[in-house]
Structure 1
């Protein structure tokens, strides 16, 4: 990717060194990746949107890739990560009061928090895969997930430090990444102990047309170095985030939003998600929600699976705001 004019640098933000990939000039688009991802999941968007006159900026979030990974699990709350991103914008674009944000998966969760905490910094948001999730003051998140899905649900399995990492290490980094990146089951992801992703770890995984062995290898070289703990620590803070955001119970997101999801995405197919998105709940909490796009036959990693369509969707939306 370096050969295509994408520049890499390290920026000191919020007490950590953050790796950033960027290209282009103009209004800034901040790309926020999810799990188990890197700046690299935005490679197609960086090239396309920088060519359309934008400055595209895609960091590795804390715990990922070439960005520092603090040791303490509690250093991965929404306040830490949003703090990193606000500090990054202060450092690299002090002249731009507001920026465009494009986010996916955990990046979308972080982006929703960014819009809640600092709407003054966001011109418009394109959220992929994960809609806004209003805080339920009645019950914590992990207990809710256990009640619905049981203990083998992947988020529940991620809670105990070290346990899932040991299982992933046995399966191998490349294998884990291929399992996640090629996951197309619209149902919930279960990771029963010792059973991995429900198939023998030596069963071949055929990569889809949009993902090459070289691309998987790029991910693998980074995750070999860092392990998965940094990314998994985001899940370990779901309940702490719930506690820290009590003051935002019932708060609305006052930022213009476009939401895009694949109809095969496990998040879109989780209980209640479609009703919330399509029957007024989402719009109630994000009153400036302008558009919901459901892409047929597309799964979770939509910006890599359908880059051209996603690039067009992003551009069509954000060009209205400058």
Structure 2
């Protein structure tokens, strides 16, 4: 069984940053990613454009050059891939961590392909894997998806987009421009305030002119093969429908954190217990990095403000090792 100073669970930007920092400081390390390099970014919509500028997405001061001030998905994939390959990072792809158990002073990490041993664990698993479900009849129909990829698929179709955040608004606009008959179903009274500032006026104008239909203070109650029921302030409305994009956000894998022994707050935020000075959780030797630190507050941590977690964690590991 291979033994490491640290195993990093998650090969996204922050997991990669932790690997770079561990290598720089002379620690033996392994990054384990259940999908391809930066799996979450790979699963973003094809035409997705980041809110952040390229320099704020940089890790380890490696320049990120993009065609526009705010890079797109394909540019980010290329940037992070080149970092992994040019630095020869020790990463195992398409390998899912199934179990982590502490035995004496070591952690035994069992994956879908192998077993490893490590003195420390960094959890950098993000939040994009588990959608916030609607929990309504018909949500499991093939016509319903919690992920959006390409607008071409919905051309000439009656499409309901559920949500008011960036992902929902981007999908609504792109699909409308590919010829979909788009209806937005928004739980609150308006389009989300966090929607990208150059996109929000666009969707509001399309709604105001009637190109995209929007129902505010509305919720989906049932989905059927050719129609959906929504509850509005004016009562129940039934809409003809071919496809539903339920883009209502995502959450970290809290079950995985609980199995590791990490404590979560007793409220709807489900904040994990960690020391912000070292990023070490309540379980000695297990550290948290990136967006997962925010629990259900998935808007709290981004690449740009959690890059600092990598040097903080590695310095803490080195300090604990020398004691």
Larger helix share, 1 or 2: 1
Greater CA radius of gyration, 1 or 2? 2
**Length-normalised TM-score, structure 2:** 0.32
Query: Higher strand proportion, which one?
Result: 2
TM-score (norm 1): 0.32
